[in-house]
Amino acid sequence: MEIYKDRKRGLWVENILFVCTGNTCRSPMAAALFKHLNNSDQLNVQSAGVFAADGSDASTFAKEALVEKGIACEHSSALLNEEHIEWASIILTMTNSHKQSVIDSFPHAGRKTYTLPEYVGYNGGDILDPFGGSLEMYRLTRDDLEDLVKQLLEKIKSK
């Protein structure tokens, strides 16, 4: 079994957790894109939200934006909890405020928590929240996430 090592940060990367606010838009799209683009059975993915209600479906536009790319999204939202934190090798948030929420609630997760843009090498920047917006906003977010997830996979597999 191959586990990917991020030597710079001293992390073994096997279980990736994407985190957003309600776990109905960005993090489920990121997880679905990751599953679609990932060709390794050694990398696992989940998503959760810092203010999520357990059991909600992904938003209609999130699913529609993914279907346009041929990606199915089977999803049930989850409030971020200690089990997620313990499971995750790395926690990738959609914004700096999500990152801070994770660290405030789970201080021991600080060493493995990053924003997705930060982890792939961008300085700052948050991923647009399409919640309540048009399908076009969801497409823009999906496209941003797709680019970032591709970079994430390249980075992990180059370790």
Return the active site residues: 20, 26, 129
Give the DSSP letter string of 8-48: TTTEEESEEEEEESSSSSHHHHHHHHHHHH---TT-EEEEE
Helix (H) or strand (E) run with residue 49 in it? strand 44-49
Alpha-carbon distances of 137 from 7, 22, 25, 63, 129, rounded to whole Å: 36, 17, 11, 13, 8
Give the DSSP letter string of 86-120: HH-SEEEESSHHHHHHHHHH-GGGGGGEEEHHHHT
